[in-house]
Amino acid sequence: MGRVARRACALLLVLGAACAPALPDPESPGAELYRTRCGGCHRLYAPATLTAAMWEMQLERMDREMARRGVRPLDTAERDTVLRYLQAHGSDAAPPEGDS
C-alpha cells in the first residue's frame, strides 16, 4: 500500500502535478504568491533551477503569457515579491548564512 502510494506520487511528479511541492521557505509571502500566481498554468519550477537573471527573464515572458490568456498580470509589488523570492533561492544565490 505505502509503496503503491509512493509510486503514484512519483508518477504524478513526473507528470508535473502537484504532490506537495517542497518550496524553500514555504511560509514566506514570496512562496505564497509564487504558489497562488504561478501554479495555475504549469507546475511550480523549483527556484534553484534557474539563476537570478533567468528568473527575471522568465517573469517578463510570463507577463506576456498571462496577458495572452486573460490572466491578471502581476502588479509591481507582486512582481517584486515573487522575483526576490525566486532569486533569493536561485541557483546562483549565496548560500544561506547562519542558522536561518
Length reported for the chain: 100
**Least distance to ligand HEC, CB of residue 47, Å:** 9
Verify binding: residue 41, ligand HEC, rule CB under 6 A. Answer: yes
Which listed residue (13, 19, 66, 93) binds ligand HEC by CB under 6 A?
66
CB atoms < 10 A from the CB of 8, how many? 11
Which listed residue (21, 51, 52, 58) binds ligand HEC by CB under 6 A?
58
Distances (CA, A) of 24 to 58, 89, 100: 19, 7, 12
Size of site (CB under 6 A) for ligand HEC: 16
